[in-house]
Chain A
Amino acid sequence: MGSLDAFRALVRRDLLLALRRRADVLTTLVFFVIVVSLFPLGVGPEMETLRQIAPGVVWVAALLASMLALGRLFSADYADGTLEQMLLAPQPLGLLVAAKVAAHWLVSGLPLVFIAPVLGLQYDLPWDALGVLMASLLVGTPVLGLIGAVGAALTLGLRGGGVLVSLLVLPLYIPVLIFGAGAVDAAAAGTGAAAHLSLLGAFLVVSLFFAPWAAALGLRISLE
């Protein structure tokens, strides 16, 4: 089996598994919506304030949602031994990790991109800012998944892994948060979001190159 075939097969398998357990997918999405909806209740319903905090709130919620979803990235395969077979597979492990992250993003990251404009409307964001919000999430959430994969691989099977992974991963998420929210801010202020989006794209390229490799190393350490 060629490497690309293995990649495709693994993505298809993970998507199929996710489709059979739709509740898991929906939990992340509902969590995202709930967190964003909590802020107006805490801050107060003044539209002026909400419009200002909207980019940050949506992005922090996306960070937390994708961090919570990390637990599902490797744990099921770890529990039933599939992961060990992947380590033994002739295909490069980094590629298999990339396939798992891609499937994971399609299931837990992409839905956030599509629900975000609705939440942005609740916060009274202008139309062009909504488009930038979607674009920034579209470029940014894969980075979150890739960086998170390293943390998930390192904490695999540890006690208190869920809390630990947040401690490891959240500081590394900060640049994505800054430029993701910054893009929406810039669009709302009318200064153009191209610079922020380009930087997010750069993060995506860099993490796409390094993160699968680092996560594969982490998996080998965790499973030896």
Chain B
Amino acid sequence: MPKLNWFYFAAPNTFYPLAGKMVPWFAVAAAVFAAIGLYIGFFVAPTDFQQGEGYRIIFVHVPAAWMSMFLYVVMAFWAAVGLAFNTRLSSMMAQAIAPTGALMTFLALWTGSLWGKPMWGTWWVWDARLTSELILLFLYIGFMALQASIDDPRRADRAGAVLAIVGVINVPIIYFSVQWWNTLHQGASVSLTRSPSMATTMLWGMLVMALAAWMYSIAVVLVRVRAIILERERNADWVRDLKAKGATK
């Protein structure tokens, strides 16, 4: 039996076909979980006695907010691995994750303000969570802008990695500063902390939707990383062979 090589898939030419095989699975899983989650969310979960039907937006909002924060950490992790071990694929992963993370952040902000209008009577509150989520969006945009403005991909990877790591150190500081700023200055007029006694079906709907968001993110990131691999390795022999076989799709 050949020895299992953990780094076998760390090379773009071996990872590319593997990613291609995994994409459909994650895409289907995302669709199935989303269908189940939305069904629970819209038909099974009871109407909230306080918030009416409007609360159902949390089935999109909460998973998006979770993913937005989680993806930043994952992005910074891969960027750091790429910086430390000089592995090309890690940096490509980081680059592929950034747009999805930004999308999730935007989605969380957008659905949050849609929820805020009927519940709080305002589109936006300078609450700690809202503010730090907004800053997270800025951090994603900064990462993408820095990478986009450097033509040499290796330099772009490493510069982006330094920025992502600085950002990861700063995110907790920003979060707590925003929280303290909020509590120090104005009374907690609006609290985002939900009542702990959440109906079980609601919780299940949310968890299933979170799984759907995971699967969707993985599928999209894999598709994007495949595109990045092809773009960067376009002069490599194995890409030329793929092209000759007409298998780059």
Contacts and interface: CB of A to CB of B under 8 A. Distances in A.
Interface of A: 150, 154-155, 158-161, 164, 167-168, 170-172, 174-175, 178-179, 182, 185-186, 199, 203, 210, 214, 217-218, 221-222, 224
B138 A154 contact: no
Among B135, B149, B165, B178, chain A packs the most CB atoms within 10 A around the CB of B149
B178 to A, nearest CB: 7
A176 B154 CA distance: 32
Contacts, number: 72
Contact of A168 (B146, B174, B177): B146
Contact of B167 (A159, A172, A175, A210): A172
Contacts of A182: 181, 184-185
Given A154-B146, A155-B146, A171-B142, 4 more contacts: A150-B162, A167-B146, A217-B162, A221-B159
7 cross-chain pairs, A with B, having the tightest CB-CB distances, nearest first:
A175-B177, A171-B138, A178-B181, A168-B142, A221-B158, A167-B142, A154-B159
Among A155, A164, A171, A222, chain B packs the most CB atoms within 10 A around the CB of A171
B15 to A, nearest CB: 25
Interface of A is mostly: helix
A222 B169 contact: no
A168 B146 CA distance: 8
A131 to B, nearest CB: 20
A164 B155 contact: no
Given A159-B149, A167-B145, A168-B142, A218 B178 contact: no
A160 B177 CA distance: 31
A150 B181 contact: no
Interface in B162-207: 162-163, 165-167, 169-170, 173-174, 177-178, 180-181, 184-185
Given A164-B145, A224-B155, A174 B177 contact: yes
Interface of B: 135, 138-139, 141-142, 145-146, 149-150, 155, 158-159, 162-163, 165-167, 169-170, 173-174, 177-178, 180-181, 184-185
Given A167-B141, A178-B178, A179-B177, A214 B162 contact: yes
30 contacts: A150-B162, A150-B163, A154-B162, A154-B163, A155-B149, A159-B149, A160-B149, A164-B145, A164-B149, A167-B138, A167-B141, A167-B145, A171-B135, A171-B139, A171-B142, A171-B174, A172-B167, A174-B174, A175-B170, A175-B174, A178-B180, A178-B181, A179-B177, A179-B181, A185-B185, A199-B177, A203-B173, A221-B158, A221-B159, A222-B159
Nearest to B167: A172
B94 to A, nearest CB: 15
A167 B170 CA distance: 15
A178 B177 contact: yes
Among B150, B165, B169, B185, chain A packs the most CB atoms within 10 A around the CB of B150
Contacts of A164: 145-146, 149
B155 A222 contact: yes
A98 B174 CA distance: 24
Nearest to A175: B177
